[in-house]
Amino acid sequence: MKTNAGDIAARLGGTLHGDPATPIHGVGTLQDGQAGEIGFLADAHYRQYLPTSRLAAVLVSEAYPEAPMAQIIVKDVKRAWRHLADDFAPPFPPPTISPQAHIDPSAILGADVSIGAGAVIGAGANIGDGCRIAPLAYIADGVTIGRDSNIGSGVRILEKTTIGARANILANAVIGERGFGNNFEDGRWLPVAQLGGVRIGDDVEIGACTTIDRGAVSDTIIGNGVKLDNHIQIGHNVHIGDHTVIAGSAVIAGSVTFGKYCV
Give the catalytic positions in this structure.
236
Question: What amino acid is encoded at 158 in this protein?
Answer: L
Give the separation between CA 163 and CA 259, rounded to whole angstroms: 20
User: 179: which DSSP letter?
Assistant: P
- C-alpha to C-alpha distance for 84 and 151, rounded to whole angstroms: 24
DSSP state of 82: H
| 126: β partners | 108, 144
- In degrees and rounded to multiples of 5, residue 174 shows phi and psi of -125, 125
DSSP designation for 26:
E
The helix/strand count (H/E) of the chain reads as: 2, 32
Contact 57, 77 (CB under 8 A): no
CA distance 58 to 69: 7
